[in-house]
Structure 1
């Protein structure tokens, strides 16, 4: 078996990625746990979706290996419940009774993969590595947005207006005309915005506006 590369860590202090397994067959749980641990992954196992719902999910890059057929809440219904709860953990489905509608529903719901038992260990490991990297990137993006949102909160209401107009491509003179300000005042606001938003250039400021979803609000 070819061992996939272990997902990289951003820093030496970052927690190891975690694989959750929800499978009602004890022998399958053990086999999957041993497989993931053999490549250095941390594992938590559950016999049902309700068991996992009762646990607290750690703040670490992770993925969920989920059986479709489970006692109580099915795997597909559990996927829907996680989405409703705004829990964005990447899911790899596995089943011994797959069909096309089931696969389509899972993938439309954002599943990383849908593996039919018996599957190759390598296929499962590849899917897990892909899922963990996807979750890591999502977490990085969420942290960036949270950081930018905190910077945005330091702007005054007027600075936010100028920010939206400048990032939409208007020149200082045009911004001044729209807001009824002197051009020198717009320049001062723009300087404050660049400093508060920690922008290195206008292009950097525009990228940050796009990340925050800031749009021009005036006609």
Structure 2
């Protein structure tokens, strides 16, 4: 299933405190947010493959837990390219812990006890960022798919265009006529759904496709 940003968000909560999990589940449900609760990092990792990959949301993660800590789980998820924004929560927060969490890419570090509205505001900001990531991911996948449909010659011509070469130079380099370059350029731009070289360049950068300068 392709990733989309318009589905209902899902909040994943990892905390060893039973009361806290129940409290945030009730809070999220009261504002129409779906959530799933996990009592440990290990339980979350065991269930992660079965979680939906196409829903926006965030991970609400307690820092101090028995077994794998929240910071350790954060590092592991970062190494594995976990896509959801993370919010770190702790009842024993200190500056070094907060710095470590934020350096690890956490969107926010929230100390217990917190105001419900503070948590909801942070969650909604994280959901917005998640939607943006999903949208960018969908667009990136579409660009890559269109690029893969190009013929080898169309790719060569478009790469030459993006490298700033004139049609004549591209024709000489590929040992084809200028007219043939123009045809491949036109069909390639159509297949990529690019209305201009600037738009094509943005697509290629988004998709992470390398353009050789020479």
TM-score w.r.t. the length of structure 1 is: 0.89
| RMSD over aligned Cα atoms | 1.7
Match of 1:199 in 2: 194
Whether the 8 Å CA contact 2:163–2:213 is kept in 1: the answer is no
Return closer, same or farther for 1:214/1:53 CA change in 2, 3 Å cut-off.
closer
Whether the 8 Å CA contact 1:168–1:206 is kept in 2: the answer is no
Kindly report which structure 2 residues correspond to 1:67-216, keeping only aligned pairs within 5 A, or say none: 67-216=62-211
Whether the 8 Å CA contact 1:18–1:60 is kept in 2: the answer is yes
State the 4+ residue runs in structure 1 displaced beyond 6 angstroms: none
- Higher fraction of helix: 2
Task: Give the secondary structure class of the aligned counterpart of 1:43.
Answer: strand
CA distance in 2, matches of 1:215, 1:177: 22
Aligned length: 208
CA distance in 2, matches of 1:132, 1:95: 20
TM-score w.r.t. the length of structure 2 is: 0.91
CA distance in 2, matches of 1:40, 1:169: 51
CA distance in 2, matches of 1:215, 1:29: 45
Whether the 8 Å CA contact 2:61–2:89 is kept in 1: the answer is yes
CA offset digits 1:86-110 (Å, max 9, x no partner): 2121111111111222111111111
* Aligned pair partner of 1:57 in 51, 57, 66: 51
CA distance in 2, matches of 1:64, 1:213: 27
Greater Cα offset, 173-182 or 73-82 = 173-182
For structure 1, the 5+ residue unaligned runs are: 1-8
